[in-house]
Amino acid sequence: MAKEKKKKEEEIVKETVVVEEENVETIEDLLAAKELKVKELENELLKQRADLENTRKRLEKERITERKYAALTVAKGLITPLDHFDLALKTDVEDETIKNFLQGFRMIKEQLSKALEDEGVSEIDALDEEYNPNFHQAIMTEKVEGKEANIVIDVLQKGYMFKDRLIRPAIVKISE
């Protein structure tokens, strides 16, 4: 404490000497110079506080976003195996043993789908919907009687959303 007080006194003396060297005529000039310095320091302090508050808010927002989308990478990785399950379950077989295996695969696929759904993954409903380039990727068109133009007539690959983000667009065929 004594050292800090001594340093402050030395700084005041140095500033006074600097002010005296600048040929300050009166004590009022010295006070005015000090008041100006105080205002400058207060202004700088306010700027620093605002920067600190803005940084705190930005970091909080980033932290919330990271938590919200933490499972996105895992969800992306599980979509392809889910597609493979769908393909395997579409096969028609006569052998009873293979049918039992397929029933097990159906159960696994349903559990996997449920787990993804619980985390915020949802399938994009595309069939018979109007084509939306934000959610659909059209790779084919076909003229269909009784269908308006730009209506999805076939889904070639399912699309998925994770909460409010697109994981993969649905690959579709649309009407002309």
pLDDT tens figures, 160-172? 999 889 999 999 9
pLDDT tens figures, 103-142? 888 999 999 999 999 989 999 998 888 999 999 999 999 8
pLDDT at 5 (0 to 100): 64
State the Cα–Cα distance between residues 164 and 100, nearest whole angstrom: 37
In this predicted structure, which of 24-33, 38-47, 111-120, 122-131 has the lowest mean pLDDT? 24-33
- Return the structure tokens found at 44: 């700088």
What are the residue ranges spanned by the domains of the chain? 25-68, 72-175
Cα dihedral sign, 109-110-111-116: positive
pLDDT at 159 (0 to 100): 93
Cβ–Cβ < 8 Å for 154, 130: no
Of the pLDDT bands very low, low, confident and very high (cuts 50, 70, 90), residue 10 is low
Superfamily of domain 72-175: Head domain of nucleotide exchange factor GrpE (2.30.22.10)
Of the pLDDT bands very low, low, confident and very high (cuts 50, 70, 90), residue 12 is low
The winner for highest mean pLDDT among 52-56, 108-112, 153-157 is 52-56
Beta bridge partners of 151: 130
pLDDT at 17 (0 to 100): 47
- pTM reported for the whole predicted model: 0.64
